[in-house]
């Protein structure tokens, strides 16, 4: 599934794999499910000064990563893109965790198993 390319372990939350503004956009999209670029822009412009064109560009990138998909709708002002999430926030998080663990298992199988075992022992 892998909807991201880079892992930044010292960032918080989804910023580990997508940028901060992309994370904000995805939070709006996960909350609403379907939205226009204008709707996303209106939702985040209060908390973060951003251009509407920037939101549209980032939604396009999120489409390329298969986190959202777009379709064209005809409205009063002409055509517009409507974006829909392709996976839930939980599915996205699971994708990150499984990819990182699989990568660690491929590169450092013994150390990864040992560390996971220690975690299990500490919590069990």
Output the six-digit token pair for 112.
């990864």
Topology (CATH) of 11-86: Arc Repressor Mutant, subunit A (1.10.10)
pLDDT (tens digit, 9 = 90+) per residue, 1-28?
566 678 888 888 888 889 999 999 999 9
Strands of the chain, DSSP E: 34-36, 68-75, 78-85
69-105 burial, b at 16+ Cβ within 10 Å, e below that, comes to: ebeeeeeeeeeebebebbbeeeebeebbeebeeeeee
Average pLDDT of span 90-111 = 92
Percent of the chain with pLDDT over 70: 95
User: Which residue in 21, 27, 18 sits closest to 48, CA to CA?
Assistant: 21
pLDDT tens-digit map of 61-96: 999 999 999 999 998 889 999 999 999 999 999 988
């Amino acid at each position: 599934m892998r909807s991201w390319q880079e892992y930044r372990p010292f960032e918080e939350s989804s910023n580990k794999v997508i940028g901060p503004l992309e994370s904000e956009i995805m939070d709006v999209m996960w909350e609403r499910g379907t939205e226009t670029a204008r709707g996303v822009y209106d939702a985040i412009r209060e908390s973060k000064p951003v251009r509407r064109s920037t939101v549209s560009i980032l939604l396009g990138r999120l489409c390329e990563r298969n986190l959202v998909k777009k379709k064209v709708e005809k409205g009063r002002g002409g055509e517009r893109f409507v974006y829909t999430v392709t996976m839930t926030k939980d599915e996205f998080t699971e994708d990150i965790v499984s990819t990182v663990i699989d990568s660690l298992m491929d590169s450092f199988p013994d150390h990864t198993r040992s560390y996971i075992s220690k975690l299990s022992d500490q919590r069990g």
